[in-house]
Amino acid sequence: MAGKIISFLFLILILGNFQAQGKAEKAIEAFSEQYPQEKIHLVFNKNSFIAGENLWFKSFVFNGYELSKISTSLFVELYDSHKTQISKKILPLINGQGSGNFLLPDNVKEGVYYIRAYTTWMANFNEDFQALRPIVIYNPSSPEKLVIDDTSKWTASVFPESGTFIDGINTKFAVRLHSKGIEPSDWNGYVIDTEKPDVKLASFKGFDQNVGSFSLTPVIGKKYQLIVTDTKGNTQTVDLPDVSDSGVNLQVSSGNDAVKFFLKSKNIAPGTLFKVIGTINNQLVFKVNSDRILTQSYSIPTAQLINGILQLTVFDAQENIVAQRLCFVQPELLKIKKPELKSLTLNESARALNSFSIAQNPDNSAYTVLIMDGKSESSEDDNSLLSTLWLTGDITSKIVTPSQYFKPNHNSEALDALLISEKWKRFDWKTIMAGTFPIISYKSQPYISYKGKVSIQGKPAPNTDMNLLFSMPDQGIKIHQVKTDANGFFSLRGLIFEDAIKFSYQLNDPKIPKEQVQVIFQPDYSFVPLKKSLPENPYSLVLRNLEDEPDSEIQRYAITKNTQSTINEKATLIKEVLLKGIKRNKTQELNDKLSGPLFRGANETVFDLVNDNNSAQGSINILQWLQGRVAGLTLASDMGNYIPKLRGSTMNIYLDEMKIDPSMVSSVSAADIAMVKVIKDYFAGGSGGGSGAIAIYTKRGGITGSVSDSTVPTKLKQITLNGFDKEISFVSPMYNDENFKNISQDVRSTLYWNPYLKTEPKESPEIQFFNNDDAKNYKVILMGFDEKDYAPVYYNETVK
Structure confidence at residue 592 as a pLDDT band (50, 70, 90): confident
Average pLDDT of 709-714? 50
Alpha carbon distance 781, 785 (integer Å): 14
Alpha carbon distance 747, 567 (integer Å): 13
pLDDT for the residue 567: 81
Query: Whose CA is closest to 163, among 240, 89, 50, 48?
Result: 240
Per DSSP, the three-state class of 189 is strand
Distances (CA, A) of 27 to 64, 436, 569, 579, 676: 18, 9, 59, 58, 46
The DSSP annotation for 495-562 comes to E--BSEEEEEEEES-TTS-GGGEEEEEEES-------SPPPP-SEEEEEPPTT----HHHHHHHHHHH
Decide if pLDDT at 177 tops 80.
yes
Structure confidence at residue 569 as a pLDDT band (50, 70, 90): confident
Alpha carbon distance 120, 682 (integer Å): 17
Phi, psi of 432 (to 5 degrees): -75, -30
Decide if pLDDT at 503 tops 90.
no
pLDDT for the residue 546: 81
Average pLDDT of 444-469? 88
Structure confidence at residue 149 as a pLDDT band (50, 70, 90): confident
Per-residue pLDDT of 353-391, as tens digits, reads 999 999 988 888 889 999 999 999 999 999 999 999 999
| Residue 228 · residue 238 · CB < 8 Å | yes
The DSSP annotation for 747-759 comes to --SEEEEEEEEE-
Alpha carbon distance 262, 244 (integer Å): 19
pLDDT for the residue 636: 85
pLDDT for the residue 16: 39
Length of the chain: 800
Distances (CA, A) of 342 to 315, 347, 356, 364, 673: 53, 15, 6, 17, 39
Alpha carbon distance 402, 386 (integer Å): 9
pLDDT for the residue 13: 47
Alpha carbon distance 263, 280 (integer Å): 20
Alpha carbon distance 713, 477 (integer Å): 8
**Of 485-489, 490-494, 643-647, 679-683, highest mean pLDDT:** 485-489
Decide if pLDDT at 491 tops 60.
yes
Query: Whose CA is closest to 551, among 181, 148, 184, 149?
Result: 148
Average pLDDT of 548-552? 87
Average pLDDT of 451-461? 89
Burial of residue 202 (CB within 10 Å: 0-12, 13-18, 19+) is middle
Structure confidence at residue 18 as a pLDDT band (50, 70, 90): very low
Decide if pLDDT at 200 tops 50.
yes
Average pLDDT of 332-348? 94
Decide if pLDDT at 476 tops 70.
no
pLDDT for the residue 689: 52
- Which range among 147-156, 347-356, 698-707 shows the weakest confidence by mean pLDDT? 698-707
pLDDT for the residue 571: 65
C-beta atoms surrounding 282 within 10 Å: 23
pLDDT for the residue 664: 82
Average pLDDT of 736-754? 90
> Is the model's pTM score more than 0.85?
yes
Per-residue pLDDT of 266-301, as tens digits, reads 999 988 999 999 999 999 999 999 888 998 899 999
Phi, psi of 155 (to 5 degrees): -125, 155
The DSSP annotation for 575-644 comes to HHHHHHHHHHHHHHHHHHHHS-GGG--TTEEEEETTTS-GGGGG-SSHHHHHTTTSTTEEEEEETTEEEE
pLDDT for the residue 514: 77
pLDDT, the chain, mean:
88
Q: To the nearest whole percent, how much of the chain has pLDDT over 90?
A: 61
Per DSSP, the three-state class of 58 is strand
778-786/604-608 β-pairing: unpaired
| Residue 106 · residue 51 · CB < 8 Å | yes
Per-residue pLDDT of 752-781, as tens digits, reads 999 999 887 778 899 999 999 999 999 999
pLDDT for the residue 225: 97
**What's 153's DSSP letter?**
P
pLDDT for the residue 609: 87
Q: Which residues of 740-754 are buried (b: 16+ CB within 10 A; e: fewer)?
A: beeeeebbbbbbbbb
Alpha carbon distance 14, 22 (integer Å): 13
